[in-house]
Chains A and B, each alone.
Chain A
Amino acid sequence: MNAPVKSFAAVSVAVLPPVARLNLRIAPADLDTASATFGLPLPGKIGQGQAKGDRAAWCLGPDEWLLHAPEVEQAAIVADFAAVRALTPHSLTVISDREFTIAITGPSAQELLSVACPLDLLRMAPGTAKRTLFDSAQVVLIRDSDDAFRIEVWRSFFPHVSELLDIALREFACGL
C-alpha cells in the first residue's frame, strides 16, 4: 500500500549521483582570472549560467558563483584556484557533501515545483539558476530546459523536501 511513486508519465523525481560543488566568492573585477582558472567564462549577471563540457557555473549573487564539475576534478580545481590566490584574493569553498541534487523532469515538472516554490517559474529561462526557497528550505533551483529542473538542497533539509515531492508526486499520479 502507498508504495512510493518516483516517476510516471508526466514527471519523475530522482536523486542525482554526487558531483563536485564549489562556492566561489570573488570581486567581479577579478572575474577574468576566475574564468581562466575554472576554464569557462563565468556569467556576470545574477541567475545566468554557463556550461562547457562537464563543468558548469551559475552566478548566484553580485560576487558569488556556484561551480559544478565531475567529482574526480575537485582536488585539481581547488589546487588551481589556490595557485592564483596570492594575486587574486577570493574564497573557494568545497560544498560537495553539503548538498544533494534532485532532478525533476517531465512535462509537469514546473507544475510539481509550484507545490512549494514561490517563484514565478514561467519567467525563469532555461540555463539559469536561482537561490530560492522550497517550502521553508533554502535551495538552489537550476532550470536545464523547459521540462528539466534540478534542486540543490542541503542534506539536513533533504528529508523534508523529498517527502514534500513524494506527496506531490502521489497526488499528481492520482490526478489530483
Chain B
Amino acid sequence: MLLIHCPYCVDTLPELEFAYAGEAHIARPANPMSQSDEEWRDFLFIRSNPRGLHAERWRHIHGCGRFFNALRDTVSDKFSVTYKAGRPRPDLEKAVQVPK
C-alpha cells in the first residue's frame, strides 16, 4: 500500500484514506465566453498525461477532508512531495523527499 503525506494533517497515512482527483494547476478561464470551442475543449478534456513526474490533486477524503496537490512519478508511483492546495508547483530541484 502507498503511504501518502497529508500536508494538512502533517502525517503520513495509508493510501486507502485518499482519493485521486485529476491533474493539478488547471485554472478555469475567468471568462468562458471568450474561449473558442477548441480552447474550451482543451480546458475540459486535454491533460498532459506525462511519463514521469506529474502534479496531481488528491483528497484526504477519509481523514481531514481536504484537497491538496502532490508530485508523483507515474512510472514508479513514488510521491516526491505533497503541498497544500493553492501553492505553486514546487521547484523540482528543491523538492524534498517525503520521509517514510
A positions within 8 Å CB-CB of B: 45-47, 60-62, 64, 118-120, 130-133, 138
B positions within 8 Å CB-CB of A: 1, 8-11, 13-14, 16-17, 62-66
CB pair B66–A132 under 8 Å, yes or no, is no
Which of chain B's residues has its CB closest to A46's CB?
A: B9
| B residues less than 8 Å from A46 (CB atoms) | 8-11, 64
Q: How far is the CA of A119 from the CA of B17 in the complex (A)?
A: 9
Given A46-B8, A46-B9, A46-B10, answer yes or no on A62-B16 (Cβ-Cβ < 8 Å): no
Q: How far is the CA of A90 from the CA of B11 in the complex (A)?
A: 26
Q: How far is the CA of A138 from the CA of B13 in the complex (A)?
A: 15
| A residues less than 8 Å from B63 (CB atoms) | 61, 130-132
| A residues less than 8 Å from B8 (CB atoms) | 46, 61-62
| A residues less than 8 Å from B17 (CB atoms) | 118, 132-133
Question: Separation in Å of the B93 CB from the closest CB of chain A?
Answer: 29
Given A47-B9, A61-B8, A62-B8, answer yes or no on A119-B14 (Cβ-Cβ < 8 Å): yes
Given A47-B9, A132-B17, answer yes or no on A64-B62 (Cβ-Cβ < 8 Å): no
Q: How far is the CA of A60 from the CA of B64 in the complex (A)?
A: 6
Which of chain B's residues has its CB closest to A62's CB?
A: B8
Task: Name the prevailing secondary structure of the B interface residues.
Answer: loop
CB pair B14–A62 under 8 Å, yes or no, is no
CB pair B62–A61 under 8 Å, yes or no, is no
Given A132-B17, A133-B17, answer yes or no on A61-B65 (Cβ-Cβ < 8 Å): yes
CB pair A62–B62 under 8 Å, yes or no, is no
Question: Separation in Å of the B99 CB from the closest CB of chain A?
Answer: 13
Closest 6 interchain pairs by CB? A118-B14, A61-B64, A46-B9, A118-B16, A133-B62, A138-B62
| B residues less than 8 Å from A45 (CB atoms) | 10
| B residues less than 8 Å from A138 (CB atoms) | 62
Q: How far is the CA of A151 from the CA of B65 in the complex (A)?
A: 19
Given A46-B8, A61-B8, answer yes or no on A131-B64 (Cβ-Cβ < 8 Å): yes
Q: How far is the CA of A49 from the CA of B66 in the complex (A)?
A: 20
Which of chain B's residues has its CB closest to A135's CB?
A: B16
CB pair B1–A61 under 8 Å, yes or no, is no
| A residues less than 8 Å from B66 (CB atoms) | 61-62
Question: Separation in Å of the A161 CB from the closest CB of chain B?
Answer: 14
Question: Separation in Å of the B60 CB from the closest CB of chain A?
Answer: 9
| B residues less than 8 Å from A47 (CB atoms) | 9, 11
Q: How far is the CA of A138 from the CA of B61 in the complex (A)?
A: 10
Question: Separation in Å of the A26 CB from the closest CB of chain B?
Answer: 15
